[in-house]
A and B are shown apart, each in its own frame.
Chain A
Amino acid sequence: SYVLTQSPSVSVAPGKTADITCGGDNLETQSVNWYKQRPGQAPVMVIYSDSDRPSGIPERFTGSKSGITATLTINRVEAGDEADYYCQVWDSSSLGVFGSGTRVTVL
């Protein structure tokens, strides 16, 4: 089955930059989506199709991809950015695949 690998946690000081990575085989051919989930809440899409940002999501959130690694970057981190972040793709064999999630802690 297809696997997306994320680091378990990232800690960042307010105002700094957080990079959350997501790796997978042949990821260069996949369209990557990113979701933010705060405790007790439903996920919210923050990036889709590798780098597109939906309306209502701050410009501080950007997505990129290089080879088999996708990156969600949060600039000028704020306390409200503290959450779990999941990458996700649709794979031809495994169908819906989510990464294991990265917990972002704002120091």
Chain B
Amino acid sequence: QVHLMESGGGVVQPGRSLRLSCAVSGFSFNYYAMHWVRQAPGKGLEWVAGISYDSSSHFSADPVRGRFSISRDNSNNTLYLQMNTLRPDDTAIYFCARVGNIQLWGHLDSWGPGVQVTVSS
């Protein structure tokens, strides 16, 4: 059974850093592209970043480019999101999601439950 679980969230001051992890099980992690999607309080879904199955390609959304970086460790079945220079508008629930086919830009067929990140002084 496919399982994704995020961790590493919490309350952090503006300007500080945080690293999110997404541990997966139940499938061959090294065959699938992965993405991070976030949801600010009371708002809709927002794509954050994506990475190919072999880490050869990775992209991020304009609001986080240069501050956030996505990476993965296929030997440990874990996806990461390094978040630097955090701002209050980064406050959101962060979800990791698996692409349902071999493409980087495919449908997101499995999601973790999400982890809360709050940026506040």
Contact = CB atoms under 8 A, between A and B. Distances in A.
B45 A48 contact: no
Interface string A45-79: 10011000010000000000000000000000000
A95 B44 contact: no
Interface of A: 1, 31, 33, 35, 37, 41-45, 48-49, 54, 84, 86, 88, 90, 94-101
Given A1-B62, A42-B114, A48-B100, A98 B47 contact: yes
Interface residues of B, number: 22
B19 interface: no
A88 B35 CA distance: 13
A90 B105 contact: yes
29 contacts: A33-B108, A35-B45, A37-B45, A41-B113, A42-B95, A42-B111, A42-B114, A43-B95, A43-B97, A44-B111, A45-B108, A48-B100, A48-B107, A49-B107, A54-B100, A84-B44, A88-B45, A95-B47, A95-B50, A95-B105, A96-B37, A96-B47, A96-B48, A96-B50, A96-B61, A98-B37, A98-B45, A98-B46, A99-B44
A106 to B, nearest CB: 20
Nearest to B46: A98
Contacts of B114: 42
Interface of B: 35, 37, 44-48, 50, 59, 61-62, 95, 97, 100, 105, 107-109, 111-114
A45 B109 contact: yes
Contacts of A44: 111
Chain A interface mostly helix, strand, loop or mixed?
strand
A84 to B, nearest CB: 8
Please give me the 3 A-B residue pairs with the lowest Cβ-Cβ distance, nearest first: A96-B47, A48-B107, A90-B105
Contacts of A42: 95, 111-114
Given A33-B108, A43-B45, 20 more contacts: A1-B62, A35-B108, A42-B95, A42-B111, A42-B112, A42-B113, A43-B108, A43-B111, A45-B100, A45-B108, A45-B109, A48-B107, A49-B107, A84-B44, A94-B62, A95-B50, A95-B59, A95-B61, A96-B48, A96-B61
